[in-house]
């Protein structure tokens, strides 16, 4: 399985500000995904990060709020914009291993918005 890192591991932010979360993989992967896990809840897919094209967002998530970049096959960023306390969550990136349909997850970023 791929080795996935995320930065930052945690952050405390003020409302109205933005935070960019980085996801780095140690090998080239086609599919990268961003999930949100609200406190005490399960994971919900935010979007699929496509290399060389716009991200594909799930219902309820919009690009203005969660802009995503995917400049190459090993890296992606998720920005949480104009944050409010409701954005306090764990944000996780995952990668799809080609040919197996299995996703492996990064360690997550715990975001607290005051």
Partner 1 sequence: AQTVTQSQPEMSVQEAETVTLSCTYDTSESDYYLFWYKQPPSRQMILVIRQEAYKQQNATENRFSVNFQKAAKSFSLKISDSQLGDAAMYFCAYLFQGAQKLVFGQGTRLTINP
Residues 57-96 binding partner 1 (CB under 8 A) are: 58, 90, 92, 94, 96
- Decide if residue 108 touches partner 1 (CB under 8 A): yes
Handedness of CA 40, 45, 46, 49 (dihedral sign): positive
Query: How far, in Å, CA of 74 to CA of 28, rounded?
Result: 5
Handedness of CA 107, 108, 110, 111 (dihedral sign): positive
Among 13, 69, 105, 112, binds partner 1 (CB under 8 A): 105
Tell me how far, at minimum, the Cβ of 76 lies from partner 1, in Å. 14
**Minimum CB distance to partner 1 smaller for 20 or for 41:** 41
Convert residues 11-50 into a mask of x (bound to partner 1 by CB under 8 A) and - (unbound): --------------------x-x---x---xxxxx--x--
Query: How far, in Å, CA of 107 to CA of 15, rounded?
Result: 24
């Amino acid at each position: 399985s791929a080795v996935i890192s995320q930065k930052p591991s945690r952050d405390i932010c003020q409302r109205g500000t933005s935070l960019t979360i980085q996801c780095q993989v140690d090998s080239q992967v086609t599919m990268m995904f961003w999930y949100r896990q609200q406190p005490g809840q399960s994971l919900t897919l935010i979007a699929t990060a496509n290399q060389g094209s716009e991200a594909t967002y799930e219902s309820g998530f919009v690009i203005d709020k969660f802009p995503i970049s995917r400049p190459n096959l090993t890296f992606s960023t998720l920005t949480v914009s104009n944050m409010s306390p409701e954005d306090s969550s764990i944000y996780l990136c995952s990668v799809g291993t080609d040919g197996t349909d299995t996703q492996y997850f990064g360690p997550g970023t715990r975001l607290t918005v005051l």
